Amino acid sequence: MTKRQLKEQEVQIAHYRLLSREVTDPLAACLLRVIVEELEADLRRDRDIGQSCSE
């Protein structure tokens, strides 16, 4: 992944975090937290892959 794509993922995560804090429906908040966790895991994986390729 390029640095730009990683940055876009970070922005997307921040957006979903904000939504999860603002939403009033408990189910929606829970689902948004799950989405954030999955996106963060993907971001960590993509960063790890990028670091191992550059070594």
Quote the tokens at residue 23. 């939403």
Do residues 39 and 9 touch, judged by C-beta distance below 8 A? Answer: yes
Q: C-alpha angle with apex 48: 18 to 30, nearest 5 degrees?
A: 30
CA angle 32–14–4, rounded 5-degree value: 125
- Separation CA 44–CA 42 (nearest Å): 5
Percent of the chain having pLDDT more than 90?
Answer: 73
For the entire predicted model, the pTM comes to 0.79
Whether pLDDT at 39 is above 70: yes
Q: Average pLDDT for residues 14-27, to the nearest whole number?
A: 95
- CA–CA separation, 44 and 55 (whole Å): 17
